[in-house]
Amino acid sequence: MGDELADDLRACSFDAWYPRLRCVSIRSAIVPLPVGFISYLLDDADGLFLPPPPAGAAGGASGGSDASGSPGWTDDEEGDGGGDGARAPAQHGPAAFGFDVQALFAQIDAAIARLGGAAFPKLNWSAPRDAAWLLGGTMRCACARDVVSLLKCSQHVAHDLREHAPHLGPPGATEPARASRSVLALRRWCELNPARELRCFAHSGALLALCQRDRHTHYAHLADERDELVRHVRAFWDASLAADAEFGVPRGRPCAVDVYVDGASAVHVVDVAPFADATTDALLFAWEELAALAARAAVGSPPDPPELRLVGAEGARVRPSAALYAGIPLELHPGRIGGEEGRDEGEGQAADAAAAIALVRAELQPAGASSARAHGCAARC
């Protein structure tokens, strides 16, 4: 990874941009994460074992612990009287996690309470959207246990911790020092209208172009609102995000900014990500188009007005979702079904699963796209 992209990743980390833009963003709380918790998230040797919550804390989305008085262990973790499951509580009690479990859970629960009782979680860059199936398809978290479940099961989060977190902190910082810069961002839960979510691309302080974040859906009314949306976003950009404004895009660097235009036409910043093919999805644009616009902006000739690109009626079609790929049971993945008995049925299930996986992979990663793009920061904000 080049030095410029590493600099942009640091500048677009949630804890770097949110304090500067909090007045024009969704109310959020930042919880520093201990190094031991990062190690816990990356350790998949034991599967999903959650630390027991503090006494009296909410036990999960349904609230409270189970009737047996267990400190939050699932049935599988408690076992059936034998096997590894029976040893889970002893092996995975609070002392086994390498960080103060109760203190972290208490911090998260307190932050969620301050935000109104429900929050949307993400780390420095990515949100664990691929694990939303754990909570019935929603990212709405009511307690620390919900948050930790999503983070622990998310490949998006694991990718960022392995590939991007090493670039946190100043050049030359030690690995523990960089890991200590990882944060949990809890965002007040809001029901956002996907038709009003836009991705903006900027360079040299100028707004280059914007498009729908939902690239699969045609919203007929947006065509009539196109000029109004561009006007509102541009006015907001000039007042709050241009390079010479009070807040400023980080260091005036090129970036992608996700915004939400509410019913009163007020604009809110949702996320900030690098202006880079390796980390960010260009959605309805090609990066070659954006690079050409950026080159114009660099010599003082940005597009005027910037183009708002929408999904046309002909471009909308039924597509597989990312949730389908993330939620396919492990047992149905090719190569996971074996044994002589029921082999034909197993092979049929595996073939069906393989077809589903191939279809979703093709949709999530177009030809020529890099694997990094499939895990892009802004694509999962």
What would the pLDDT profile of 218-276 be if each residue is shown by its tens digit?
Answer: 999 999 999 999 999 999 998 888 866 666 665 567 889 999 999 999 999 999 999 98
pLDDT band for 4, please (50, 70, 90 cuts). confident
Q: What is the pTM of this model?
A: 0.75
Backbone angles phi, psi at 351, to 5 degrees: -65, -45
By CB atoms closer than 10 A (0-12, 13-18, 19+), residue 104 is buried
| Architecture of the domain spanning 194-317 | 2-Layer Sandwich (3.30)
pLDDT number for residue 302: 85
User: Could you tell me if 258 and 198 are in contact, meaning their C-beta atoms sit under 8 angstroms apart?
Assistant: yes
83 pLDDT tier (thresholds 50, 70, 90): very low
Domains of the chain, by residue range, sit at 27-67+92-188, 194-317, 324-381
Percent of the chain with pLDDT over 70: 63
- Which of 45-49, 227-231, 277-281 is the least confident region? 45-49
Q: Which residues of 156-298 form beta strands (DSSP E)?
A: 183-188, 197-203, 206-212, 255-261, 267-274
pLDDT over threshold 50, residue 343: no
Q: Tell me the DSSP string of 259-285.
A: EEE-TTS-EEEEEEEES-TTT---TTS
Reported as type and span, the H/E element at residue 32 is strand 28-32
